[in-house]
């Protein structure tokens, strides 16, 4: 098997408990339980010191049936060892409550990125990127940034875009993945090579300019626990279009204020939202301004403050 931290046995730390005891911790904060070492710590320290937990799972992809019943039993057992959880958003809070945590065991600690770094002007690089793909100032650019994999559903976006039939709108896929060749082939079949563009994976230093080059950021995922790329795009003051199965949608995307939400997997629903959003560049700019205002409260400072205040209560 290829080495890595994937899977339950991906992180095994035999000395973890002893090291925490040696450090004489007053409490522990565990990020996720799906590693052997994490679950071991959660179980060991229950009733010894306060056990805090942070994760971002949701109920958005929950399926009915025997598998769900088994999952419910497992998760209620796991969260029975948690004294207090920090939820990242509305959908995550519902998840914790579903699996046994009470309201007084939950504190909001927002999912956040470095807003200031993304808000820093990269206009020169952004204009150069648009020029690279021959996108004029009056034309609109829709951006998809992420892995080109099935669960993020970039093909749905391409198919909906092909039916948009607006000569002044471009689409850019930034990223790599198993669907890359399929997307490029389909773009050629649709005769959209002058309007649909591709960039390889961009590292974090390049991302602010990438977001600032676009007019609309789209994340059409079939399932996404949160979608920090949305935070990043909003920090760059961009309008947002996401599926209803993107975890951050209910918190960050306000329909007709800073973007729109479409029904996951529904090409017609996506197309209709694209048609509305691409009617006016000035409206997209207004939505982008609203995004910038909304995301200010979803910050590292707010996350740290909320966690610190709760821990100091114990």
Angstrom distance (rounded) from CA 94 to CA 92: 5
* Residues 91, 197 within the same domain: no
* Residues 255, 122 within the same domain: yes
Taking only the tens place, the pLDDT of each residue in 177-196 is 999 999 999 999 999 999 99
* Residues 12, 98 within the same domain: yes
CATH of the domain at 163: 3.40.50.2000
- Phi, psi angle pair for 283, to nearest 5°: -65, -40
- Phi, psi angle pair for 190, to nearest 5°: -85, 0
Q: Which residue range forms the structural domain that includes residue 59?
A: 8-112+299-313
Mean of pLDDT values over 266-277? 99
Tokens of 229: 């790329």
* Residues 55, 203 within the same domain: no
* Residues 27, 80 within the same domain: yes
* Residues 63, 119 within the same domain: no
Give CA separation, 287 vs 117, 238, 259, in Å: 20, 7, 6
Is 79 inside a domain boundary?
yes
Is 148 inside a domain boundary?
yes
* Residues 126, 212 within the same domain: yes
Q: Which of 165, 167, 158, 164 is nearest to 139 (CA)?
A: 167
Supply the pLDDT for residue 62: 83
Taking only the tens place, the pLDDT of each residue in 44-96 is 999 999 999 999 999 998 888 888 899 999 999 999 999 999 999 999 999 99
Q: Residue 121: pLDDT above 80?
A: no
* Predicted TM-score (pTM) of this structure: 0.94
* Residues 88, 237 within the same domain: no
Tell me what the pLDDT averaged over the chain comes to. Answer: 96
Is 85 inside a domain boundary?
yes
Supply the pLDDT for residue 3: 62
% residues pLDDT > 90 (the chain):
90
* Residues 62, 182 within the same domain: no
* Residues 166, 28 within the same domain: no
Is 2 inside a domain boundary?
no
One-character DSSP codes across the chain? ---SS-SGGG---TTHHHHHHHHT-S-EEEE-S-SHHHHHHHHHHTTTS-EEEE----STT---SHHHHHHHHHHHHHHTT-SEEEE-SHHHHHHHHHTT--GGGEEE------HHHHHS--HHHHHHHHHHTT--TTSEEEEEES---GGG-HHHHHHHHHTT--TTEEEEEE--STTHHHHHHHHHHTT-TTTEEEE----TTTHHHHHHH-SEEEE--S-BS--HHHHHHHHTT-EEEEETTBTTHHHH--BTTTEEEE-TT-HHHHHHHHHHHTT-HHHHHHHHHHHHHHHTTSSHHHHHHHHHHHHHH-
Q: Residue 168: pLDDT above 80?
A: yes
Name the domain count of the chain.
2
Supply the pLDDT for residue 2: 60
* Residues 191, 303 within the same domain: no
Is 272 inside a domain boundary?
yes
Angstrom distance (rounded) from CA 202 to CA 2: 25
Is 15 inside a domain boundary?
yes
Angstrom distance (rounded) from CA 276 to CA 260: 9
Q: Read off the pLDDT band of 154 (50, 70, 90).
A: very high
Is 1 inside a domain boundary?
no
* Residues 68, 179 within the same domain: no
Question: Based on the number of CB atoms within 10 Å of its own CB, is 44 exposed (0-12), middle (13-18) or buried (19 or more)?
Answer: middle
Is 3 inside a domain boundary?
no
Angstrom distance (rounded) from CA 252 to CA 241: 11
């Amino acid at each position: 098997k290829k080495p890595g931290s994937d899977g339950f046995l991906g992180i095994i730390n035999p000395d973890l408990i002893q090291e925490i005891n040696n450090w004489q911790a007053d409490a522990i904060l565990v990020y996720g339980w799906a590693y052997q070492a994490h679950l071991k710590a959660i179980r060991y320290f229950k009733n010894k010191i306060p056990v805090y937990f942070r994760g971002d799972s949701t109920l958005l992809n929950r399926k009915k049936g025997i598998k769900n019943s088994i999952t419910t039993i497992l998760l209620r057992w796991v969260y029975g060892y948690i004294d207090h959880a920090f939820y990242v958003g509305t959908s995550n809070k519902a998840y914790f409550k579903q699996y046994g945590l009470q309201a007084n065991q939950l504190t909001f600690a927002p999912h956040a990125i470095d807003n200031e770094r993304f808000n820093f002007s990269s206009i020169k690089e952004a204009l150069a990127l648009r020029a690279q793909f021959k996108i004029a100032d009056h034309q609109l650019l829709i951006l998809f940034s992420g892995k080109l994999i099935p669960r993020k559903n970039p093909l749905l976006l391409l198919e909906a875009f092909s039916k948009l039939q607006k000569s002044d709108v471009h689409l850019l896929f930034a990223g790599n993945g198993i669907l890359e060749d399929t997307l490029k082939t389909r773009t050629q079949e649709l005769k959209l090579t002058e309007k649909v563009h591709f960039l390889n994976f961009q590292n974090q230093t390049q991302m602010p300019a990438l977001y600032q080059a676009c007019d609309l950021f789209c994340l059409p995922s079939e399932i996404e626990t949160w979608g920090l790329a949305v935070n990043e795009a909003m920090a760059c003051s961009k309008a947002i279009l996401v599926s209803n199965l993107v975890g951050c949608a209910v918190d960050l995307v306000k329909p007709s204020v800073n973007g729109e939400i479409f029904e996951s997997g529904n090409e017609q629903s996506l197309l209709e939202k694209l048609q509305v959003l691409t009617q006016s560049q000035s409206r997209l700019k207004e939505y982008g301004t609203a995004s910038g205002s909304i995301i200010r409260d979803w910050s590292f400072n707010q996350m740290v403050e909320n966690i610190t205040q709760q821990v100091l209560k114990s």
